[in-house]
Structure 1
Amino acid sequence: MATVVTMLLPAAAYAGDPAAAREQLKAGYTLAQDGRCAEAIPRFQESLKLDAKAITLINLAQCEERTQKLADALGHWVDARARAQSEGNAAIEEEAEKRAKALEPRLPRLTIALTVVMTGESPKDLEIVRDGVVLGSVSVGVALPVNPGPHTIVVRAPGYEETTKKIDLAEGENKRIDVGVGKKKPEVKTVAQATTTPEKAAPKGTNPLVYVGFGTAVAGVAVGAVTGIMAFGKASTAKDNCPNLTCPNNAELDAVDSGRTLGTISTIGFAVAGVGAAVGIYGLLAGGSSKSSATVGLTVGPTGCGIRGSF
């Protein structure tokens, strides 16, 4: 028989509530007698936590054998033997020794072999998990006792896909299973996303057309008013010097023509003022624009006046 070395915790570490431990032991024993070992096992385990005794260990081991948890049962038979020896209970020690020897050949064994990747080296931080238990590197390639039935082996490593294999073992069967890491995961390149800050809209100022338009309007009013006054003066003089619209000489006739010209210029000035005012109002309604440019000017000549500009 293979030698199994176990370490029992000191009795003080188990001590907690002996009375409650006895109640759990009695409840588990009753369930086991009724053939309900699956329900009895948690009772025995709880009793061990409260107060570990050899009698509890052998009851637990018996139920585990009946439910095909042979590897667990072997461990508890060995623990029961050591516990009974410390308690001075020769009968339980002898029974546990006998049952452990009988169970040993029934135990299936599973060898997990790791297939290395093409580089011949195993990836760092590789884990082999058998039935939810992570196995150390020294357990790889060793025939370890397991319970009969299905087993799941998972291999995982950072940067590699996880692989899973399943295997079934019967009582006394020895099997080997080769496992390895999956395919290498593609590197994920992190692309820094360029953040674009929307341009701030330039603050809108007063549209230049406002200044140009109203400026032209003021100039037009000024020209119209001045030339109007001058035309009025010329007309008054012509009325006095040319009664009945008859002028005595060419000088007076030229004064009449000059008055008519000034009157025309005055009219045009006021018209230009109206256009300028319209341009200024349009500038107010259109709002400011940093790209707008406009020029408007008033021209006054010997034969008339006008407005010129670009928008």
Structure 2
Amino acid sequence: MKRRGSDPAAACLAALLSLPALLSLPAGTAWAQMAADPAAAEALFREGRDLVAQGKLPEACPKFAASQRLDPGYGTLWNLADCLSRTGRTASAWAAFREAADMARRMAQDDREAKATRRATELEPQLERMTLAVKAPVPGLVVKRDGVLVDDAAWGVALPVDPGKHAIEVTAPGKAPFTTEVTSAGPGKTLTVAIPALADAPAGATAASPAGTGAPSAGTSGPLPDAPSASSDSGASTRRTLAFVSGGIGLAGVVVGSVFGVTASSRWSKARDEHCRTETLCDAEGVALTDDASKAATVSTLGFIVGGAGIAAGVALFVSSLGGGDDKPQAARLTVAPAVGQGSGGVLVLGRF
């Protein structure tokens, strides 16, 4: 069984849509995400399917998840969502089905979008939710559920959670941590977890200084004025690495945009010259050619947009990494504008450095 269809435009579009997310990742993570391994993804997918056939669903779900991370595709995501649903992880399955529906919509695959949307809708009445009610927010307060950070915008919001037990951990600078374990309330119900005001940390405990602030510890005179900052050097190095990552993504996007732009132009021309009497009156092959040309043009446009954004981000990151010490580099200002037409495509990048 193959993991996804054979439509190259759809596969390329899926890859392009995932590229902007790489720009927000740390350098090491970005390189890891770029190192897609379709062969390993296919092997993991097949192993997951074999485990499903053997009734070993709890072992199959991680295989599908790993395959999806290595080489994202609708087929893998659908099987992961179905596996999660069959093992009772309703919230995770609901989110995966919704993501699959969004992917299908971007690919203009209406039947797949409807199929995934229907499964997500069927799960909604079964969802169990949890509200984390923070009574006394303080600066630096961190709330985690099952080891995952809960953004402060989500405090007080009923969020879907998988059924079962969940660990809540709350910390803040100078405060004693708060931890508890709760169990979800059941299908269709919401559990509210009250996060109390944190008590002050014991008198003998001292909070660590924030990284990179250069704050001197007690009994010292602080860092020498001319001492190099290791965190500053590390930050500059990270920005340079991200600059090359972003630039590489940008160049890849421009190449993809160019290739699919030429393909779109070629198919438009063939349809117009050989199969269409007017712009709206075409034979069956002409209709197919114009449809293919439209899809290729969409991929081309996205390619140039992602490419331009990647190149712009790469330049900005590289320029920002050049400064050292107290000398701050001049802010880079860049404007990226795609320029795509029926027969051609390009990207306009304007900048001041």
TM-score by structure 2 length?
0.47
Shift of 1:145: 0.8
**Conserved? CA contact 2:176–2:202, under 8 Å:** no
Given that residues 64 and 70 in structure 1 are in contact (C-alpha distance below 8 angstroms), is that contact kept between their aligned partners in structure 2? Answer: yes
Number of residue pairs the alignment of both structures matches: 180
Alignment check: 8 A CA contact 2:127 2:189 kept: yes
Distance in 2 between the 1:69 and 1:94 partners? 21
Report the Cα distance in structure 2 between the residues aligned to 1:9 and 1:142, rounded to whole angstroms. Answer: 32
SS at 2:187's partner residue?
coil
Give the drift of 1:67.
1.9
Q: Distance in 2 between matches of 1:104 and 1:131?
A: 22
Rounded to whole Å, the distance in 2 between the matches of 1:102 and 1:19 is 34
Q: Which of 193, 201, 206 is the aligned partner of 1:185?
A: 201
The CA deviation string for residues 263-304 of structure 1, in whole angstroms up to 9 with x for no partner, is xxxxxxxxxxxxxxxxxxxxxxxxxxxxxxxxxxxxxxxxxx
Whole-angstrom distance in 2 between the partners of 1:104 and 1:42 = 23
- When residues 189 and 154 of structure 1 are mapped into structure 2, their CA distance, relative to the original with a 3 A threshold, is closer
Secondary structure of 2:173's aligned partner: coil
Q: Is 2:68 aligned against 1:48?
A: yes
- SS of the residue 2:168 aligns to: strand
Deviation at 1:158, TM superposition (A): 1.7
| Larger CA Rg, structure 1 vs 2 | 1
Match of 2:16 in 1: 10
Which residue in 2 is equivalent to 1:135? 150
Cα distance in 1 between the residues matched to 2:197 and 2:148: 17
Q: What residue is the counterpart of 1:148 in the other structure? A: 163
Task: Answer yes or no: is 1:20 the counterpart of 2:56.
Answer: no
Q: Does structure 1 retain, via aligned residues, the 8 Å contact 2:166–2:181?
A: yes
1:84 is matched with: 104
Quote the offset at 1:189 in angstroms.
Answer: 9.2
Give the match for residue 33 of structure 1.
53
Q: 2:120 aligns with which of 97, 100, 109?
A: 100
Does structure 1 residue 71 correspond to structure 2 residue 71?
no
Cα 1:157/1:20, change in 2 over 3 Å: closer
Partner SS, residue 99 of structure 2? helix
SS at match of 1:155: strand
| 1:77 shift after superposition | 0.4
Match of 2:77 in 1: 57
CA apart distance, 1:96: 0.5
SS of residue matched to 2:188: coil
Q: What secondary structure, in the 3-state scheme, does the structure 2 residue paired with 1:32 have?
A: helix
Distance 1:125 1:9 in 2: 36
Asked if 2 retains the 8 angstrom alpha-carbon contact of 1:153 and 1:165, the reply is yes
| Cα distance in structure 1, aligned partners of 2:201 and 2:72 | 49
**Map of 1:86-235 to 2, 5 A cutoff?**
86-116=106-136, 122-169=137-184, 170-188=186-204
Alpha-carbon RMSD = 2.6
Aligned-partner Cα distance in 2 for 1:50–1:188: 47
Report SS of the residue matched to 1:10: helix
Q: Structure 1 residues 153, 52: closer, same or farther in 2, change over 3 A?
A: same
Task: Return closer, same or farther for 1:22/1:102 CA change in 2, 3 Å cut-off.
Answer: same
SS of residue matched to 2:138 = coil
Question: What fraction of aligned residue pairs are identical, expressed as a percent?
Answer: 34
Change (3 A) 1:126 1:12: closer
TM-score calculated relative to the size of structure 1: 0.52
- Judged with a 3 Å threshold, the aligned counterparts in structure 2 of structure 1 residues 9 and 75 are, in CA distance, closer, same or farther, namely farther
Q: Which amino acid aligns with 1:72?
A: S
2: CA distance between counterparts of 1:109 and 1:127? 20
Q: 2: distance between equivalents of 1:62 and 1:110?
A: 23
The Cα shift of 1:9 comes to 6.4
State the distance in 2 between where 1:144 and 1:107 align.
9
**Counterpart amino acid of 2:131?**
T
| Residue segments in structure 1 that go unaligned for 5+ positions in a row | 1-7, 117-121, 194-311
Distance 1:89 1:17 in 2: 25
**Contact 1:160/1:182 (CA < 8 Å) preserved in 2?**
yes
- Residue 163 of structure 1: how far off its partner (Å): 1.2
Note if contact 1:18-1:50 (Cα within 8 Å) is conserved in structure 2: yes
Shift of 1:12: 6.6
- 4+ aligned runs moved over 4 Å, structure 1: 11-15
The C-alpha deviation readout for 1:85-110, integer Å capped at 9, x for no partner, is 34454433221111010011111111
